Structure 1
Amino acid sequence: MTQATNTDSQIHSQNTAIEKLKCKECGEEYALEAKHICEDVCFGPLEVKYDYEKLSQTVSRATIEAGPNSIWRYRQFLPVTTDNVIDVGTGMTPLLKSERLARRLGLKNLYIKNDAVNMPTLSFKDRVVSVALTRARELGFSTVSCASTGNLANSTAAIAAKAGLECCVFIPADLEAGKILGTLIYNPTVMAVKGNYDQVNRLCCEVANTYGWGFVNINLRPYYSEGSKTLGFEVAEQLGWQLPDHIVAPVASGSLYTKIYKGFQ
């Protein structure tokens, strides 16, 4: 298992749409590398910034609609630099109109986005991991990893297998066996750690710094989280390029919610 070898200057030159990483708290800027916090100033989270003016010159509804039937129809709005993406059919999940529930709630129109049929592991995590591992491969990582209690491990192992990347997942030792069975199908290395999820995650931070692996929810997090925007893109496209009045979404860390909003913007 080896660390990344590509340089950011080599990668960034291939696509000028993604410009930099920028701290959401203080505005400090960084090169497009495997980094997730503003380590020089405030330790705030980093976010990918794009040149939307340049994108507007080449991207249109027509070019998007002519793209693949997956999240990669929105490739120009994602933090990757080449066309060599890891496409496992993720995205373009059904947007179902729920008439009976709408009547029950007193709503005129209600739609449910069914990411439970996402590919390849039936979870919205397939969106974020597909983007993160594509970027990991561009950055030169040959080993990818994650801390997880289930869905993220499944998705990381599956998509790493498709990409030919080595995979190691870290889980709490007392995790129910049923939550990891799907992961084992793809034959990753599984590390069961004594402790809760937060303790597992802290260990992974140390491993990322020591071994130079690409952790989707640590040093690749700025790219990983951008994958959630595709859910917002799809909703807008499936509504005839209209935005909904309201969105209800699971919160957890809040990343899904904020990235759907970023996609709408």
Structure 2
Amino acid sequence: MIKKPGPRLLIVNTVQTAAAIAQAMRSAGHNVLHLSTALAPVHRELIIDRIKLRLRERIDDWTLVATSCVEAGMDFSFRIGFRERASTASLIQIGGRVNRGAEYLGAEVWDILLRDDLFRDNPSLTISKRALSYYNTNDLNAIDSTQLATKAMQREWTTGAEEKATQLVVLEENMEYRAVAEKCRVIDADTRTVVVDQGLVQAIRKGSKVSKAELMLYSVQLWATKIDKLALELVIPRDNLGEADVYSWPYDYDPDFLGYMEGVLKLENFIAAGGAII
């Protein structure tokens, strides 16, 4: 990848994969920026400003490693784009982040597969990946992008509906009603707000008034299943208005590069070496 001329954009499917690759590239001496929801909004904006500056000043030999947060609403233009296999729509989206103004010669977009123990798969993309793999390179280059996206989505919906219906029938027959309820949820995004700024955490603990806007600027969203696993401390309990619990982030946080993944990757290495969170 780094042998390709820059600036280069690599979009991957999970926050952990993005952080692991960005960290490895920087450790190897490569010029790299990282952008994902591992960074709080206030810090993501700073990274976005740096990206725009590099692109504006035509700095070539560098790479942005990111998640799908750059696929929409970002006015970026790179020479080369690499997309970890996801949906057909995502592959088309990265095309919109490559050579937007026809300013580069030899611009390319690559669909790639990644394998490493530190990388995490996104199971929600299984059907989308399968739909994309149906098309060969000639199809991707020949079919109009709008038609391609429509055909791929139809394939995803058909395959997904059939598989889900089969799963529901089996679960019903086995009287696994809780699992049926889980499968029937329309939206599966059970996340919690986690404050990464310790000064803000201390202010909350002292009872100081903190606006919701400020809270969100200095917070990230983590899956609810990770809260207990990481032993995060509750700082604002759920209220009667339905506002969700808010937790604090006690581990390392890098506002300039990896965000909360700085702490997560250190924990991964710690656990791999035989340690444990107690």
Q: TM-score range by the shorter chain?
A: under 0.3
* TM-score normalised to structure 1 length: 0.26
| Structure (1 or 2) with the greater helix fraction | 2
